[in-house]
Amino acid sequence: MGFDSSDIHVEGLREGTLDATLVQDPFRIGYEAVKSLAEKLSGRTPARRLDLPARVIVKSDLDKPDVKALLFPEWLKGKQ
């Protein structure tokens, strides 16, 4: 089991040395932080707690577009 995304984790999934890796979404975390700050600065009260779940990625997920975008954000640039 791995934690977070790296080339080593993806390679481990592809080769079978890892069964799964638990991945966070750093772009969403950053987006929600800026959104909360903007709400606070505009006088609104942002949510006290946000549930930004991690995702378990297994080998069969690696070619899915949403997983590619999560693991390799630069891949998404080529799709726009």
- Residue 47 CB-density burial (10 A; 0-12 exposed, 13-18 middle, 19+ buried): exposed
Q: In what order do the strands lie in the sheet with 21-23?
A: 2-3, 21-23, 55-57
Q: Give 24-76 pLDDT, tens digit per residue.
A: 998 899 999 999 999 999 999 999 999 999 999 999 999 999 999 888 877 65
Mean pLDDT of the 19-27 span:
93
pLDDT at position 39 is: 97
Query: What is the spatial distance between Cα 69 and Cα 55, in angstroms, rounded to a whole number?
Result: 13
Are 10 and 67 in contact by the 8 Å Cβ rule? The answer is no
